[in-house]
């Protein structure tokens, strides 16, 4: 193909494109593995090329070392690494700190550090030459950190020193139970053997058995002139290989603490008298191995460090696997069980989830067999009947809050239920490891993980779980506990949100006006809606006391019509009627002042400001729509208490909002009604108009919080005072809308004196009821405004309220639009009346005192 010119290649590709069936068939029949791999490689994300001289990672993540089969469920691992690879005395995964709490952080002072070889002393010439030679050999191996390569290098040096025919090198190992044994790194190798040939054979020798075992156990060298005469010699190897062993020089390799870390063995001296090893051979061998012990120690530390790093990566991968999915308990339990089974090489894994309500029971059980790891599908098939699972071991672990490791169930006599599983030989429990899964605080067991029948990696036979398995399962349980707890919290939250949705649906249904009431209003309004003039809606002196509830709803519809909101935003007449009635319904009738009548009066004042106050020409239609909706909804579901009471009484509403608690609640109620079926008067708006309107409604309702008013008013007053208010500036317009909301909310202070006096009595009644609650429920003395014992101070408090809150606001609005002056005039007149009453009350007090 390379010899073809470009035009021929193009014709061939075009022909293949036109004959796809042939191309597919040819590829299936002829493609090699390299071609397939190359095809895959071009279609996956590649790793950026490393620059020359940079080092690649030593090894990939342990959990991902083996490719996953195509039919394996995503997120469900198959076996990639076994716990047996870590079956040696590594540092504990989980330790207890000074306070007894479990931690992954190990005391750094206990970590062994690499050692430096001691310097050889110099003596006479011969000794100096020998030392120089040894130093060269030691220097050659001092930088080696790979144990296998180091052992081969040691073999080459020993051969140079003593010239034997065969060599073996054994290292001392310990399993997780701290039982010592010997593993060959070189066995029966001869001069000229390569590293690969030398490291092929690996045998295990028992401690204190045979010549090598004896040297390892005693720490003393052996120089045997005739191997067959020594009872410790095992001639089995000679019989297999046909080799004749005559002399043996076997030396211990010790570390800096004089502990045996290995054994070096030389067989059959090539030269010398009778082919035996000399005393000088012993000295040279011993001197060299003294340094080898230190170098081996450092190499083993490095190997242990890499192994611990690999182990930590396993735990990190497990944590990542668990925490990437926290929405379903079954899914996370499936991942946990699959990971533990594949790593721990157990036949079965059962996870029991504790019942939070009942102490001695489990709410759910998840069971998985080792054979299920290769199955596909979202939910693993489980043929095991969980009702037949023995819960007793799990219950015991839950109660004791400690692990349980039984090497042979049949020999364990602690539990009376030991033989209950013997009826089914295929499912019989032989070895068992059970550990508690605790919550984040480690003070409560939320589950139990039970493994059954540890399988040997090589033979597949059942064996006991060892200490290494206990440590891994204990570490797994910590991550599993966090994952399970988070998932349970998510499911609880999800259920709570679902309940909230249902509750909102129910509330929305009951909060909406009935179809009968809506039809009645619709029919009445269709017949005739009174004009704004006849209802006196354009007057700043308006009072609702003479109107019926039906007339207030008709008046509300009239205001929307006269502002052209119904026409401009294509409101359905039926929706408007139902929305007005729904808003009215969501004000609590037993509240003395903050009820539907107050909302209606606030809305009428806004209508009068827009129309009679000539503000309508300054605002756009969306702003007027938002202000009219906000005035009607600004006190929805008012409880007759202020924000301070809500906070101090620790009402649930206080947990939802950090400030303007009731105002936020009023807006939420407003939003709920607007979104309820049949009340969607904003359905004619575009998406952008809808968002803008809702934002203005929210800010307008929040502006009725006098605490926010006090923060904002200074800037507004300065802008208008200095003639710096710019109508085109959105921030300035937002300030104006906020001030208008407050002006309308407190507009009762501007009404004719009889109306103002009557409204003040309603406000006082509501405030005094709150004061009574504060005494009874909060056990505190209410402020004068809420204290019915201070009723005589109402006139002076009204004067203070007008001076602090009202006068400057109405003065500013009158300066902005002279047509708003009636608000200021009404406020000033009422101040005079309240001032006169306050002076009269003061005279009565003085006269009474005299």
- Report, as residue numbers or ranges, the catalytic residues: 594
Q: Are strands 432-438 and 248-254 parallel, antiparallel or unpaired?
A: unpaired
In the 8-state DSSP scheme, what is residue 276?
-
What is the Cβ-side half-sphere exposure of residue 821, based on CA atoms within 13 angstroms?
A: 3
Angle at the Cα of 296 from the Cα atoms of 294 and 299, rounded to 5 degrees: 115
Q: Compute the distance between CA of residue 794 and CA of residue 838 in angstroms, rounded to an integer.
A: 8
Whether residue 476 contacts residue 340, with contact meaning beta carbons closer than 8 Å, is answered with yes
Angle at the Cα of 274 from the Cα atoms of 273 and 276, rounded to 5 degrees: 80
Structure tokens at 330: 């079954």
Q: Compute the distance between CA of residue 332 and CA of residue 335 in angstroms, rounded to an integer.
A: 5
454, burial (CB in 10 Å: exposed 0-12, middle 13-18, buried 19+): buried
Q: Compute the distance between CA of residue 763 and CA of residue 834 in angstroms, rounded to an integer.
A: 15
SS3 string, 425-482, reads HHHCCCCEEEEEEECCCCCCEEEEEEEEEEECCCCCCEECCCHHHHHHHHHHHHHHHH
User: Interhelix angle for 596-611 vs 730-745, to 10°?
Assistant: 130
Cα dihedral sign, 768-771-777-781: negative
Measured between alpha carbons, how far is residue 513 from residues 584, 593, 806 in Å?
Answer: 9, 22, 36
Question: What is the number of residues in the chain?
Answer: 850
Which residues, including other chains, have CB under 8 Å from residue 575's CB and lie 6 or more apart?
678, 679, 680, 681, 683
Angle at the Cα of 769 from the Cα atoms of 782 and 750, rounded to 5 degrees: 95
- The DSSP string of 587-640 is S-TT-SSSSHHHHHHHHHHHHHHHHTTS-GGGS-HHHHHHHHHHHHHTTTT--S
Structure tokens at 287: 């001197």
Stretch (H or E) spanning 251: strand 248-254
Stretch (H or E) spanning 350: strand 346-354
Burial 93-109 (b: 16+ CB within 10 A, else e): bbeeeeeeeeeeeeeee
């Amino acid at each position: 193909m390379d010899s073809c010119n470009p035009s021929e290649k193009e014709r061939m590709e075009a022909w293949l494109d036109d004959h796809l069936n042939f191309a597919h068939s040819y590829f299936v029949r002829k493609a090699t593995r390299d071609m397939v791999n190359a095809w895959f490689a071009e279609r996956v994300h590649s790793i950026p090329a490393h620059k020359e001289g940079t080092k690649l990672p030593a090894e990939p993540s342990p959990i991902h070392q083996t490719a996953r089969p195509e039919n394996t469920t995503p997120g469900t691992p198959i076996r990639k690494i076994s716990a047996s690879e870590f079956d040696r005395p590594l540092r504990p995964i989980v330790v207890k700190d000074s306070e007894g709490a479990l931690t992954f952080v190990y005391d750094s002072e206990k970590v062994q550090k690499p050692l430096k070889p001691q310097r050889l002393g110099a003596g006479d010439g011969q000794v100096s030459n020998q030392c120089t030679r040894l130093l060269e050999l030691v220097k050659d191996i001092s930088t080696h950190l790979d144990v296998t390569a180091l052992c081969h290098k040691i073999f080459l040096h020993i051969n140079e020193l003593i010239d034997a025919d065969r060599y073996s090198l054994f290292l001392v190992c310990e399993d997780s139970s701290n039982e010592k044994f010997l593993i060959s790194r070189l066995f029966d190798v001869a001069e000229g053997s390569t590293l690969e040939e030398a490291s092929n054979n690996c045998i295990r020798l028992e401690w204190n058995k045979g010549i090598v075992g004896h040297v390892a156990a005693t720490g003393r060298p052996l120089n045997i002139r005739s191997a067959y005469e020594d009872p410790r010699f095992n001639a089995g190897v000679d019989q297999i290989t046909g080799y004749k062993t005559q002399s043996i020089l076997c030396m211990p390799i010790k570390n800096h603490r004089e502990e045996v870390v290995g054994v070096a063995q030389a067989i059959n001296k090539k030269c010398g008298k009778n082919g035996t090893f000399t005393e000088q051979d012993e000295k040279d061998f011993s001197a060299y191995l003294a340094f080898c012990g230190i170098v081996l120690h450092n190499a083993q530390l490095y190997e242990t460090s890499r192994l611990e790093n690999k182990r930590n990566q396993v735990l990190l991968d497990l944590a990542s696997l668990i925490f990437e999915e926290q929405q379903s308990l079954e899914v996370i339990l499936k991942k946990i069980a699959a990971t533990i089974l594949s790593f721990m090489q157990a036949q079965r894994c059962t996870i029991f989830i504790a019942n939070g309500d009942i102490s001695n029971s489990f709410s759910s059980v998840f069971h998985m067999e080792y054979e299920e790891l290769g199955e596909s599908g979202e939910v693993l098939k489980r043929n095991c009947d969980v009702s037949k699972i023995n819960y007793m071991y799990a219950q015991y672990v839950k109660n004791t809050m400690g692990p349980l490791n039984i090497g042979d169930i049949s020999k364990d006599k602690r539990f009376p239920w030991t033989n209950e599983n013997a009826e089914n030989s295929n499912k019989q429990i032989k070895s068992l490891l059970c550990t508690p899964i605790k919550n984040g605080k480690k003070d409560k067991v939320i589950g139990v993980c039970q493994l059954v029948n540890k399988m040997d990696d090589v033979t597949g036979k059942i064996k006991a779980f060892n200490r290494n398995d206990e440590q891994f399962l204990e570490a797994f349980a910590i991550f599993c506990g966090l994952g399970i707890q988070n998932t349970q919290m998510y499911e609880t939250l999800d259920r709570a949100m679902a309940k909230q949705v249902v509750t909102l649906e129910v509330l929305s249904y009951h909060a909406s006006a009935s179809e009968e009431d809506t039809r009645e209003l619709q029919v009445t309004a269709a017949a005739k809606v009174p004009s704004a003039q006849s209802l006196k809606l354009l007057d700043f002196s308006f009072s609702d006391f003479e109107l019926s509830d039906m007339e207030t709803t008709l008046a509300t519809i009239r205001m929307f019509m006269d502002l052209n909101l119904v026409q401009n935003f294509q409101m359905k007449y039926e929706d408007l009627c139902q929305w007005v009635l729904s808003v009215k319904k969501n004000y609590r009738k037993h509240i003395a002042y903050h009820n539907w009548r107050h909302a209606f009066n606030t809305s009428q004042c806004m209508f009068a400001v827009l129309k009679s106050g000539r503000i309508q020409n300054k605002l756009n239609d969306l702003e007027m729509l938002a202000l009219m909706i906000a005035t009607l909804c600004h006190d929805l579901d008012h409880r007759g208490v202020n924000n301070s009471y809500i906070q101090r009484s620790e009402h649930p509403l206080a947990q939802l909002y950090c400030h303007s608690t009731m105002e936020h609640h009023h807006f939420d109620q407003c939003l709920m009604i607007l979104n309820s079926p049949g009340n969607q008067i904003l359905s004619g708006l575009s998406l952008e108009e809808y968002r803008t309107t809702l934002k203005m409604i929210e800010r307008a309702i929040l502006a009725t919080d006098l605490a926010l008013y006090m923060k904002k008013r200074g800037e507004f007053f300065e802008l208008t005072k200095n003639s710096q208010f710019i109508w085109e500036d959105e921030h300035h317009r937002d300030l104006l809308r906020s001030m208008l909301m407050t002006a309308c909310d407190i507009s009762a202070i501007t009404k004719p004196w009889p109306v103002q006096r009557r409204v003040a009595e309603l406000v006082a009644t509501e405030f005094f009821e709150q004061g009574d609650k504060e005494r009874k429920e909060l056990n505190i003395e209410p402020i004068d405004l809420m204290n019915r014992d201070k009723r005589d101070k109402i006139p002076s408090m009204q004067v203070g309220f007008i001076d602090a809150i009202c006068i400057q606001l109405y003065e500013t609005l009158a300066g902005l639009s002279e047509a708003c002056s009636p608000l200021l005039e009404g406020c000033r007149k009422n101040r005079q009346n309240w001032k006169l009453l306050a002076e009269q009350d003061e005279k009565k007090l003085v006269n009474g005192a005299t």
